Amino acid sequence: MESFLLQATMFLLAAVLAVPIAVRFGMGSVLGYLIAGIVIGPIFGFISGSETTDLQHFAEFGVVMMLFLIGLELEPRALWDMRHKLIGLGGLQITLTTLAIAGGMMWLGYQWSVSLAVGLIFALSSTAIVLQTLAEKGLMQTSGGRATFSVLLTQDIAVIPMLAFLPLLALPATMTIAPDGSISRASDAAHEAHHSLSLVEGLPAWGVTLVTLGAIVAVILAGIYLIRPLFKFIAAAHLREIYTATALLIVIGIAVLMTLVGLSPALGTFLAGVVLANSEFRHELEADIEPFKGLLLGLFFITVGAQIDFGKLIADPVNILGLTLSVIALKMLILYGLGLMFKLKSRNRWLFALGLAQAGEFGFVLLSFAVQQNVLTAALSETLLLVVALSMLITPLLFILYDVVSHRMQDDHHESAADEIDETGQVIIAGIGRFGQIVNRLVRASGFDTVVLDHNMEAIQAMRRFGVKGFLGDPTRPELLHAAGLEEARVLVVALDDPDATVKLVKHARRERPDLHIVARARDRVQVFRLYQAGANDIVREMFDSSLRAGRYVLENVGLTEYEASQAEQTFYHHDRNAVRELALLWDPERPAAQNAEYVARAKELEEDLQTLLTAQLEKPAAAE
């Protein structure tokens, strides 16, 4: 018990210290977990290799839970809609990468069977690291993120046929591969040393197929007919912990069933998640599983870092680093080509290529299995394990490289040719999202012409279907603004989603037209200050008015009359506008507001003034009575 508690303390302490530091410096949580593992493993030796290996088998369950949650987000129809990317994009990636790496291994002098096995292993990428990083960076819903997910899903499914295929590459039972690559005879005892325990052991091929199909059908039927009655029964207890226990039982039970029939637990739980995607208990399952998934994935990343054998790396750095970088470069080249073939544009193509260039956690499983099946030598496996771990360690750095590349690139929509603008109006509206649409409807309904600019083709096409004309193009481009009539316009409305683009547009418009009235949308108070300095006349925080209205409803339902709540709302509104103007003069863009002593002091004074004003406002009716 003492040993277990000590290990748990070391893992948690390393994560608590390393992850926030990594996130603060923009490296992401995954790199933080990997660094934590390196610190407590290879550097200080707080945990041994055997302890890490045993723990990793437990931590890999975080990947299983992650795929279950991903399945919950995918309806069966959505999965069917992805079939072209799953078969085309994912299938081509696995095939081309396998052949390329196998060719490289044969060029290095390895047998074709060994080369093919290595190619299959390195064709896989890290589902755990990539999906976690995409989610953290908000990239999952981009076209590059969706393409990346499709390939990862295909790879996870492909693990099953790979496990079935690898034994076919093994030498005969009486032969083995020596560490130097030569072939020798193995004793019967050595051949029989490994036994797999499963329901399909000893069954004929048709029996294995029937058991496998039966397990898949059982998972689907249980998801359709058993889960709902089970949760209704559990709901009668009104105990939160029983909900959690039930969610864990579902995931663990399915994983055990898949393991017994020789299938991937991750695939089984993913399938169960897809079946339950339309269930009314979907959100309950997500809430119960999410904390366990996060902790176990973090633990998995720590064990990967702790398993890196720096002694072997130091002994042969050129070969090992050369192999690692070669694998990454080769996969990235293939992925970039596939991105071109499937018409991914600019930054999405780079996200796709850089995000999937590493080896994956299933590589550890396949390497171990390949050694057991007499396909790879133990010595070669140790080297390849180090390459897999190093490539995973480099992955967060590849995402940082993507951030650098994407910031230097224009948005994908800039590649679309801008429309030729043949109309001008008194009002130019840049951005036709939820905010800009309402402004446009109000102004046009009042009898004034508008010119709408937006870089989103879908938004422009949707407007045209409703009879509202808009023009496709980047509103921050000077030539597009001038074509829209910037010289003659009376008002410019800047309603873009991108805060930096909004400030850039306001600065340009103010420089070109000092007399132009500019109404700008702001996301928060900091952007208000930036737009104020850029020269905007009216700055509207996108949530401010709706939040004030919600606050008025609260006041009406805690004891104030409608009149009193309305007066409080108006008092707050006018005071806040004046306060923002004052604070904008004190705001320093070079340092956070909390570290600006003058700003903080004045903000406190203004908050006290607001409380005094509201108290006096609410006491007026009482004094009159």
At 337 the pLDDT is: 92
Checking if the pLDDT of 206 tops 80, the result is no
* Judgement on whether residues 615 and 500 belong to the same structural domain of the protein: yes
* Judgement on whether residues 399 and 422 belong to the same structural domain of the protein: no
Tell which wins on pLDDT, 122 or 135: 122
Tell which wins on pLDDT, 403 or 368: 403
CATH number at residue 607: 3.40.50.720
Tell me the pLDDT band of 197, cut-offs 50, 70 and 90: very low
CATH number at residue 11: 1.20.1530.20
Using CB atoms within 10 A of its CB, is residue 589 exposed (0-12), middle (13-18) or buried (19+)? exposed
At 328 the pLDDT is: 94
- Residues 392-444 have pLDDT tens digits of 888 888 888 888 888 777 544 444 444 455 566 788 999 888 888 888 888 88
* Judgement on whether residues 216 and 315 belong to the same structural domain of the protein: yes
Q: What are phi and psi of 12, to 5 degrees?
A: -65, -40
Checking if the pLDDT of 175 tops 90, the result is no
Q: Is residue 304 part of a domain?
A: yes
Residues of the chain with pLDDT > 70: what percent? 84
Checking if the pLDDT of 452 tops 80, the result is yes
* Judgement on whether residues 297 and 224 belong to the same structural domain of the protein: yes
Residues of the chain with pLDDT > 90: what percent? 10
Q: Is residue 200 part of a domain?
A: no
Q: Is residue 191 part of a domain?
A: no
Quick one: CA torsion of 116, 119, 120, 122, rounded to 10 degrees?
160
Q: Cβ contacts of residue 20 below 8 Å, gap of 6+?
A: 32
At 360 the pLDDT is: 83
Q: Is residue 190 part of a domain?
A: no
State the chain's mean pLDDT as an integer.
79
* Judgement on whether residues 330 and 216 belong to the same structural domain of the protein: yes
* Judgement on whether residues 376 and 452 belong to the same structural domain of the protein: no
Give the domain range for residue 346.
Answer: 2-171+210-407
Q: What does the DSSP 8-state code read for residue 338? A: H
Mean pLDDT over residues 4-11, rounded? 76
* Judgement on whether residues 144 and 47 belong to the same structural domain of the protein: yes
Residue spans of alpha helices (H) in 513-561: 525-534, 544-556
* Judgement on whether residues 426 and 360 belong to the same structural domain of the protein: no
Checking if the pLDDT of 36 tops 50, the result is yes
Beta bridge partners of 250: none
- Residues 261-314 have pLDDT tens digits of 777 677 778 778 877 777 767 777 777 787 887 788 788 778 777 777 777 888
At 208 the pLDDT is: 67
Checking if the pLDDT of 85 tops 80, the result is no
Q: Is residue 17 part of a domain?
A: yes
Tell me the pLDDT band of 103, cut-offs 50, 70 and 90: very high
Split into its structural domains, the chain has a count of: 2
For the chain, the residue count is: 625
Q: Is residue 198 part of a domain?
A: no
At 393 the pLDDT is: 81
* Judgement on whether residues 402 and 429 belong to the same structural domain of the protein: no
Checking if the pLDDT of 119 tops 60, the result is yes
Q: Cβ contacts of residue 485 below 8 Å, gap of 6+?
A: 424, 425, 428, 451
* Judgement on whether residues 310 and 459 belong to the same structural domain of the protein: no
For 254-259, which contacts have Cβ atoms below 8 Å and span 24 or more sequence positions?
254/68, 254/219, 255/61, 255/64, 257/215, 257/218, 257/219, 258/215, 258/219, 259/198
Checking if the pLDDT of 334 tops 80, the result is yes
Q: What does the DSSP 8-state code read for residue 446? A: T
Q: For the whole model, what pTM was predicted?
A: 0.55
Nearest to 528 by CA among 456, 578, 476, 489: 578
The last residue of a domain, from among 407, 431, 447: 407
At 357 the pLDDT is: 92
Least-confidence region, from 46-50, 376-380, 553-557, 563-567: 46-50
Q: What's the chain's Rg over C-alpha atoms? A: 30
Tell me the pLDDT band of 96, cut-offs 50, 70 and 90: very high
Tell me the pLDDT band of 338, cut-offs 50, 70 and 90: very high
Range with top average pLDDT, 272-276, 293-297, 351-355, 480-484: 351-355
Mean pLDDT over residues 339-351, rounded? 85
Tell me the pLDDT band of 78, cut-offs 50, 70 and 90: low
Beta bridge partners of 491: 427, 517
CB 124 within 8 A of CB 157: no
The last residue of a domain, from among 379, 407, 435: 407
* Judgement on whether residues 337 and 483 belong to the same structural domain of the protein: no
The last residue of a domain, from among 384, 407, 430: 407
Beta bridge partners of 538: 519
At 412 the pLDDT is: 45
Annotate 327-356 with b (16+ C-beta within 10 A) or e (fewer). bbebbbebbbebbeebebbbbbbbbbbbbb
At 299 the pLDDT is: 81
Tell me how far CA of residue 625 lies from CA of 13, 560, 612, 621, 622, in angstroms. Answer: 63, 16, 21, 6, 5
* Judgement on whether residues 435 and 467 belong to the same structural domain of the protein: yes
Tell me how far CA of residue 443 lies from CA of 58, 211, 241, 436, 449, in angstroms. Answer: 61, 66, 54, 11, 8
Mean pLDDT over residues 538-563, rounded? 87
Tell which wins on pLDDT, 316 or 172: 316
